Amino acid sequence: MISHDDHRARILAAAPAPRVERLAVSGGSLLGRVLAADVRSAVELPAFTNSAMDGYAVHSADVNEPCELPVVGDIAAGDTRSLSCEPGSTWRIMTGAPMPEGADAVVPVELTDGGVERVRFEAAATPGNHIRHACEDVRVGDLLLPRGTHVAPHHVAVLASSGVTQVDVVARPRVVVVSTGDELRAAGSELAHGQIHDSNGPMLAALVEAAGAQLVEQAHLPDDARAVSDLLERVVESADVVITTGGVSAGAFDVVKEALIEAGDVTFDKVAMQPGKPQGFGLLGERRVPVFTLPGNPMSTLVSFHVFVLPTLDAMGGRPPRECERAVVERGWTSPPGRAQFARVAVRRDDSGRLVIHPNSRQGSHHLGELAEANALALVPADVDVVQADDELDIQMLLTKE
| Residue window 135-174: x/- pattern of binding to Mg ion, with contact defined by CB under 5 A | ----------------------------------------
15 binds, among ligand AMP, Mg ion, none (CB under 5 to 8 A by kind): none
Q: Which of residues 177-236 bind Mg ion (CB under 5 A)?
A: 181
Sole window of 2-10, 68-76, 239-247, 383-391 interacting with ligand AMP (rule: CB under 6 A) = 239-247
Nearest residue relative to ligand AMP (C-beta): 296
Q: Which is nearer to ligand AMP, 40 or 367 (CB)?
A: 367
Q: Which of 149, 199, 214, 218 binds ligand AMP (CB under 6 A)?
A: 199
Question: For residues 85 and 57, is the Cβ–Cβ distance under 8 A?
Answer: yes
Q: How far is CA 166 from the centre of its chain?
A: 19
Sole window of 47-55, 197-205, 259-267, 331-339 interacting with ligand AMP (rule: CB under 6 A) = 197-205
Distance CA 231, CA 226 (A): 9
Partners of 376 in the β-ladder? 345, 397
Distance CA 137, CA 157 (A): 14
Q: How far is CA 297 from the centre of its chain?
A: 28
317 binds, among Mg ion, ligand AMP, none (CB under 5 to 8 A by kind): none
Least CB distance from residue 183 to ligand AMP, whole Å? 5
Q: What is the DSSP string of 152-202?
A: -HHHHHHHHHTT--EEEEEPPPEEEEEEE-TTEE-TTS---TT-EE--HHH
Interaction of residue 246 with Mg ion, rule CB under 5 A: yes
Question: For residues 255 and 261, is the Cβ–Cβ distance under 8 A?
Answer: no
Q: How many residues bind ligand AMP (CB under 6 A)?
A: 19
Q: Which of 162, 200, 279, 304 binds ligand AMP (CB under 6 A)?
A: 200
How many CB atoms lie under 10 A from the CB of residue 241?
Answer: 24
Helix, strand, or coil (residue 35): strand
Task: Tally the residues of the chain.
Answer: 402
Sole window of 126-134, 195-203, 227-235, 322-330 interacting with ligand AMP (rule: CB under 6 A) = 195-203
**Cis preceding-peptide flag for 320 (omega within 30 of 0):** no
Interaction of residue 245 with ligand AMP, rule CB under 6 A: yes
Q: Which of 62, 104, 183, 391 binds ligand AMP (CB under 6 A)?
A: 183
Question: For residues 349 and 371, is the Cβ–Cβ distance under 8 A?
Answer: no
Question: What is the per-residue burial (b if ≥16 Cβ within 10 Å, else e) of 136-150?
Answer: eebeeeeebbeeebe
Selection from 350, 308, 388 nearest residue 15 by Cα: 308
41 binds, among Mg ion, ligand AMP, none (CB under 5 to 8 A by kind): none
Least CB distance from residue 246 to Mg ion, whole Å? 4
Q: Which of residues 298-337 bind ligand AMP (CB under 6 A)?
A: 298
Sole window of 4-12, 192-200, 304-312, 390-398 interacting with ligand AMP (rule: CB under 6 A) = 192-200
245 binds, among ligand AMP, Mg ion, none (CB under 5 to 8 A by kind): ligand AMP
| Residue window 150-179: x/- pattern of binding to ligand AMP, with contact defined by CB under 6 A | -----------------------------x
Q: Which is nearer to ligand AMP, 91 or 342 (CB)?
A: 342
- Integer CA distances (angstroms), 192 to 164, 189, 195, 247, in order: 58, 10, 6, 21
Interaction of residue 251 with ligand AMP, rule CB under 6 A: yes
- Integer CA distances (angstroms), 368 to 182, 249, 271, 335, 371, in order: 21, 21, 22, 18, 5
Q: Which is nearer to ligand AMP, 228 or 316 (CB)?
A: 228
Question: For residues 198 and 158, is the Cβ–Cβ distance under 8 A?
Answer: no
Distance CA 201, CA 89 (A): 74
Interaction of residue 297 with ligand AMP, rule CB under 6 A: yes
Sole window of 5-13, 210-218, 280-288, 289-297 interacting with Mg ion (rule: CB under 5 A) = 289-297
Q: How many residues bind Mg ion (CB under 5 A)?
A: 4
198 binds, among Mg ion, ligand AMP, none (CB under 5 to 8 A by kind): ligand AMP
Give first-to-last CA distance, the chain, whole Å: 34
Residue at 308: amino acid letter:
F
Question: For residues 301 and 277, is the Cβ–Cβ distance under 8 A?
Answer: no
Q: Which residues bind ligand AMP (CB under 6 A)?
A: 179, 181, 183-184, 196, 198-201, 245-249, 251, 295-298
Q: Which residues bind Mg ion (CB under 5 A)?
A: 181, 246-247, 296
